[in-house]
Structure 1
């Protein structure tokens, strides 16, 4: 059985800009994927 057959909801593509804050640093980047267990965030090259 393939992993995509185990999913309750089909995956759909999306792309969003966002900002991740860790302590006193803020990183702007792209939110690539999100699930019930976490998110995949791709930070930009320079902290904001």
Structure 2
């Protein structure tokens, strides 16, 4: 059925978005907190 297929696609997309957001939050907590100025400088350069 098409409905179940669409639900599976939506669930996979939502899970990917959740994992991506969690990864970004952990990355910010681990890397940005100790070296806040250096990360901001590299972001502004790129």
TM-score (normalizing by structure 1): 0.21
* Structure ranking higher on relative contact order (CA contacts 8 Å, 6+ apart): 1
Answer 1 or 2: which has greater strand percent.
1
TM-score (normalizing by structure 2): 0.21
Answer 1 or 2: which has greater helix percent.
2
